[in-house]
Amino acid sequence: MTLTGVAGVGKTRLALRVAEDVRRAFPDGVWLVELAALADPGLLVHTVAGALGLPDQAVSPTERLAEYLADKRLLLVLDNCEHLLDACAGLVGALLAAAPELRVLATSRQALRVDGEHVFGVPAMSVPNLDGQWVPADLRSSEAVTLFTERAAAGLPGFRLTEQNELEVATICRRLEGIPLAIELAAVRLQSLSLQQILDRLDNCFMLLTTGSRAALPRQRTLRAMMDWSFELCSAEERTLWARLSVFSGGFDLEAAEEVCSGDGIPREEVLHLVAGLVDKSILTREQHGNRARYRLLETIRQYGRDRLAESGQEKVLRRRHRDYVRALAEQAYADWFSPRQVTWASRMRVEHPNVRAALEFCLSEPGEARAGQRIAASLRSFWIGSGLLTEGRHWLDRALRLDTAPTPERARALWVCSFLDLLLADPEPALRRLAECGPLARKLGDVGSAAYTELWTGYAALHRGDASGLDAMAEALTQLRAAGDEYGTWISLLMMSLGACALGDDRALGWGEEALRVCERHEAKFFGFHSLWMTGLERWRRGECRNATALAGEALRLKRSVNDPWGIAHCLAVLAFAAGDEGQHRRAARLLGAAHAAWRLAGSGRGLWGVHAFDDQCVAGTREVLGEAAFDAAYREGAGFTLEEAIGYALGDKTGDARAAHRPDDARSLLTRREREVADLIARGLSNRQIAETLVIAQRTAESHVEHILAKLGFTSRAQIAAWHTGVTDEAAWPGRDSYSEP
């Protein structure tokens, strides 16, 4: 059995624990042979023989050792074999052939590849999940948190995990990805630094984690020493590839590695061989995503590689290659999204999201690169919308537009895409400013597509102001986009015209909505068809066809069930709420309203698309009037407390969804610690992180960590969402139907 794994993951510790647990099964003993300090493979047999207490012999030492072990029932533990792989493999193979009762337990960063070998990859310790909803009790089950707490208490008597420090401890363990050595070294630092100071310094963990046990081998006393050891075990080409791969964030596939990292000493055809070597050496972790293999560097290994890349002078070159790869991927997705492949693209881009962020951050932090950022962020239009990332998409586009104001085609497209996101977020003022610039720019450039989209969104923005002539402008945009052969533009024009007509009571809404659905069906654009379904359902409901409306919105909801798109799902829930209210299912309507509004807040859009608002107000008022204040508020709060999956299950009548919803706390406040609730309250009052820190007498970085943690627990992406959520669950005046609920 060979225990493999990354540096510092605890292979030796596990081997010793196993040896202790099984020692009674071996009457001839359990013998440890430590090989880390052995540099000469020719001395391996002598070292093993010496550990077993055998005298030096003139005869072949391998034969003497095999003869000695032939009738022994014995466990031989060979620790740290990675730098002596060939010698260890040869010796183990010979000994096992000669001694049928011999068992060997080896630790190595790479398998020995001996006949009969079983390989066990030692995983990192479990870490707290800070990406979604969790409760403080979850920390107690985290192996990494337990280890940190134990080691911290050993060096700092009296240290314990409390409500006040659990966020910092959890974040440290998460940042160190459950690597025991790194966690122990961080815990030692508590003798001279606070938890917050440790967190602040983790971006340079190799400078921070430098003081280990004096009893450990020199290369195990610091994180950098462990990484240096791993680096030295790699070939020159593997070292170069390790450094280059550090530009990826979150992971990569083989094609990405070949595209970004080949050249300058690494032929493209050699990348596969080198990646396999780094997997064998436990530098890369292999993961399966659907039918594609992906690879990942743990963050500490990635940081080390980034340092080596910087030393090589190639960091900017490789980051540009990475940027170019992401740009090509985004543009391919843009061109191919309105097709049967959109499901594949949606899944692919969710996996690539960390790389997208890394590429955009490079574009917006490196002088002269913002135009490429405009191009990438605008190309990902459908990804931002389909993944419920409207706020993030607008964030990147807004930054890129401010950094590069040159009158280019990239700017024109970024302007109308950003205005589109503004309008989807029910924020027409910045949209109108951007559109006022985009129209003249597009005409000057001869950019027919951007000019047509500008007219489309200008018309839709006019509807926000109650100007029904906006429909005429949208119809003109539809004509232009059809003439240009833009099928996506044709579909989105029909969809938004249908919504506008529905809101205005114009019966053309149904025809436009059904035509939009046919365009999607013709191109097998499944996720875009989702929007056509709920929009057609909304118009059917307006016409009094509640059963048809429920069927259409339910079908749309099933299409979106596997996709984390709170913005789109909220519109389905709203249509189902309207229909339930009209059919006399008032408590169900109130729950669905609560779930829809919570999902909109989750997406950062307030109340979804213009055109739905008035219907929403009517449903809230009517349902409240029938149920009464107390009953409505109770049902609404219950719906607002559903997770997205619970809301979908409840809406579709799934028994599992209903059961989960029935046992859910009244609201999400139970997910937050007392301190986090205090921070949420101060955010709702409009305080900055610095002001929060001053009010609570904590470090500003601690305040920032609390805010980040609240965002993660509640699934939010902005402070505005926290404020809206906090107001919604604590302020009676903010409940639907009250004065403050009306749209200004």
Tens digit of each residue's pLDDT (9 = 90 or more) over 113-123: 999 999 998 88
Length of the chain: 744
CATH of the domain at 680: 1.10.10.10
Full 3-state SS string of 307-358: HHHHHHCCHHHHHHHHHHHHHHHHHHHHHHCCCCCHHHHHHHHHHCHHHHHH
Determine the Cα–Cα distance for residues 370 and 491; give it in Å rounded to an integer.
30
Give the percent of the chain with pLDDT over 70: 89
pLDDT band at residue 57 under the 50/70/90 scheme = low
Mean pLDDT of 494-501: 96
Q: Residue 293 forms beta bridges with which residues? A: 288
Question: What does the pLDDT read at residue 205?
Answer: 65
Is residue 666 pLDDT above 70, yes or no? no
What's the pLDDT score for residue 13?
Answer: 86
Residues 625-632 have a mean pLDDT of: 93
Residue 720 domain-assigned?
Answer: yes
Which one has a higher pLDDT value, 690 or 441?
441
C-alpha distance from residue 495 to each of 268, 415, 475, 480 (Å):
46, 21, 11, 16
The angle subtended at Cα 358 by Cα 354 and Cα 359, nearest 5°, is 120
Same domain, 91 and 19: yes
Is 63 inside any structural domain? yes
Check residue 699 and report its DSSP letter.
-
Q: Which of 181, 199, 224 is the last residue of a domain?
A: 224
Return the structure tokens found at 573.
Answer: 């829930």
Q: Which residue has the tokens 């405009």?
A: 374
Residue 659 has pLDDT above 70, yes or no: no
User: Is 185 domain-assigned?
Assistant: yes
Q: Which residue has the tokens 């068992």?
A: 103
Paired tokens of 678 = 């205090």
- C-alpha 111 chain-centroid distance: 31
**Residue 148 located in a structural domain:** yes
- Say if residues 243 and 20 touch (Cβ distance below 8 Å): no
Domain identity same for 15 and 71: yes
**Mean pLDDT rounded to a whole number for the chain:** 86
Residues 15 and 112 in one domain: yes
- How many angstroms separate the CA atoms of 259 and 252, rounded? 11
Q: Is residue 34 a part of any domain in this protein? A: yes
Query: Mean pLDDT throughout 701-715?
Result: 75
224, 244, 272: which is the final residue of a domain?
224
Q: Residue 131: what pLDDT?
A: 57
Residues 114 and 161 in one domain: no
Cβ atoms of residues 225 and 216 within 8 Å? no
**Alpha helix positions (H), 352-469:** 353-365, 370-379, 381-386, 390-403, 409-424, 428-445, 448-464
DSSP code for 506 = -
**Which one, of 670, 667, 708, lies nearest residue 689 by Cα?**
708
Task: Show the CA angle centred on residue 274, arms to residues 271 and 279, nearest 5°.
Answer: 125
With a CB cutoff of 8 Å and minimum separation 6, the contacts of 466 are: none
**AA identity, residue 255:** E
Residue 547 in this model has a pLDDT that exceeds 70 = yes
Q: 62-119, pLDDT tens digit by residue?
A: 888 999 999 999 999 999 898 899 999 999 999 999 999 999 999 998 899 999 999 9
Same domain, 6 and 117: yes
Q: Give the type of residue at 312.
A: S
* One domain, residues 151 and 106: no
Listed residue (635, 719, 645) closest to 682, CA to CA:
719
Residue 359 belongs to a domain? no
Confidence of residue 183 (pLDDT cuts 50, 70, 90): confident
Query: CA dihedral in degrees (676, 682, 686, 691; nearest 10)?
Result: -100
Q: How far apart are CA 522 and CA 520, in angstroms?
A: 5
* pLDDT single digits (tens) 434-456: 999 999 999 999 999 999 999 99
Bridge partners of 103, per DSSP, are: 75
Q: Which of 78-82, 172-176, 632-636 has the lowest mean pLDDT?
A: 172-176
CA 475 to CA 459: how far, in whole Å? 9
CA atoms of 622 and 191, how far apart (whole Å): 62
Range in 60-69, 499-508, 531-540, 545-554 the model is least confident about: 60-69
Let me know whether 155 and 90 are in one domain. Answer: no
346's tokens: 């949606």
A 10 A CB-CB count for 550 gives 20
Distance CA(463)–CA(610), nearest Å, equals 8
Strands 285-289 and 74-79: unpaired
Whether 299 has a pLDDT exceeding 80, the answer reads no
Q: How many CB atoms lie within 10 A of CB 267?
A: 12
Do residues 23 and 106 share a domain? Answer: yes
C-alpha dist (Å) from residue 681 to 669, 686, 698, 722: 11, 9, 16, 9
b/e sequence 433-456, b meaning 16+ C-beta within 10 Å: ebbebbbebbeeeebebbbbbbbb
Q: Which two tokens stand for residue 620?
A: 């809230």
What pLDDT shows up at residue 420? 96
pLDDT at position 588, please?
96
Examine the domain organization and report whether 35 and 105 are in the same domain. yes
Among 60-74, 199-213, 336-350, the range scoring the smallest mean pLDDT is: 199-213
Share of the chain above pLDDT 90, in %: 55
pLDDT in tens, 109-159: 889 999 999 999 888 888 887 654 455 556 767 888 989 998 888 888 889
Alpha-helix residue ranges (DSSP H) falling in 484-585:
487-504, 508-523, 526-542, 546-560, 566-582
Question: For residue 577, is pLDDT > 90?
Answer: yes
Together in a domain, 102 and 142? no
Judge if 693 and 732 occupy the same domain: yes
Q: Is 285 helix (H, G, I), strand (E, B) or coil?
A: strand
Q: Cα Rg for the chain, rounded, in angstroms?
A: 31
- What is the residue-wise DSSP string for 66-106? HHHHTT--EEEEEE--GGGHHHHHHHHHHHHHH-TTEEEEE
Domain shared by 58 and 151, yes or no: no
Domain range for residue 672?
Answer: 668-741
Q: Is the pLDDT of residue 730 over 50?
A: no
Domain CATH number, residue 79: 3.40.50.300
Q: Please tell me the predicted confidence (pLDDT) of residue 383.
A: 93
Q: Quote the number of domains for the chain.
A: 3
Q: CB within 8 A of 567, min separation 6: which ones?
A: 385, 388, 390, 424, 599, 600, 603, 605, 608
Residue 204 clears pLDDT 70, i.e. is over it = no
Domain finish residue from 121, 144, 161: 121
Mean pLDDT of 239-255: 95
710 domain-assigned: yes
Residue 532 identity (one-letter amino acid) = S
Residue 718 — very low, low, confident or very high, per pLDDT cuts 50/70/90?
low
Q: Which of 355, 337, 356, 335 is nearest to 345 (CA)?
A: 337
Of 267-281, 390-404, 427-441, 688-702, the range with the lowest mean pLDDT is 688-702
Residue 338 DSSP code? S
Q: Are 709 and 676 in contact (CB under 8 A)?
A: yes
For position 697, what pLDDT does the model report?
74
Cβ atoms within 10 Å of 708's Cβ, excluding its own: 13
Band the pLDDT of 206: cuts 50, 70, 90. Answer: low
Return the residue matching tokens 């630790």: 107
pLDDT value of residue 198: 86
In degrees, rounded to 5, the angle at the alpha carbon of residue 362 between the alpha carbons of residues 356 and 368 is 125
Q: Is residue 541 part of a domain?
A: no
Q: Residue 603 region, left (φ>0) first, then alpha (ψ -120 to 50), else beta? A: alpha
Q: If DSSP states are collapsed to H, E and C, what string results for 566-581?
A: HHHHHHHHHHHHHHHH
